Amino acid sequence: MLSSLQAVIARVMKLRPVRVFQRYSTKNGPILAGGLSLTALYSVFAGLYVGFAILGLSIQSNPDLKNAVVNILSTSIPGLIKDANGSGAIDLDALFKSRVLGWSSIIAAAALLLTALSWFASARSAVRAVFDLAPDTTFFLLLKLRDLALVIAFTA
């Protein structure tokens, strides 16, 4: 009985999904994935800020369109937009009054670009670490240009 159980365990351990999970676990996959998720989250908030500022400029003259967009966002992502009770992450009055070319928007756009570039660089490093590959020896400016091309491709 014990030898047949050991044979089953040995066979299960040779399955590809089990081996993938073992490699993922031994190479700090959860930590790498958590770091990538956090970096992506920073990009999302900077992108929301810049996106709302641009949206505010484009729908400023049309209050019906503005209300429709706000209602859709409030329904789709509860807690994102501050309501009458004051609960919510984004204050629309302050956001729609912001200027795209103001200092805060320039900083948010730079943060968006830097965090997006950082995410691609971190993803490249994480994949190399999981698969025991040597660090990329490509000139760092070429890597940043490649990352920038990927950022542009993903936003288009």
How many domains is the chain partitioned into structurally? 1
Is residue 73 domain-resident?
Answer: yes
Tell me what pLDDT residue 145 has: 95
**Under a CB-based contact definition with an 8 Å cutoff, are residues 152 and 66 in contact?**
no
Mean pLDDT, the chain, whole residue set:
86
The single-letter code of the amino acid at 2 is: L
Question: Residue 81: phi, psi to the nearest 5?
Answer: -100, 135
Q: Does some domain include residue 96? A: yes
Query: Which residues fall within 8 angstroms of residue 95, CB to CB, at 6 or more apart?
Result: 49, 52, 53, 56
Domain range enclosing 100: 32-155
Residue 100's pLDDT band (cuts 50, 70, 90): low
28-57 pLDDT, tens per residue?
999 999 999 998 888 888 888 888 777 777
- Domain-located, residue 106: yes
Query: Residue 105's closest CA among 60, 39, 53, 147?
Result: 53
Residue 49 lies in a domain: yes
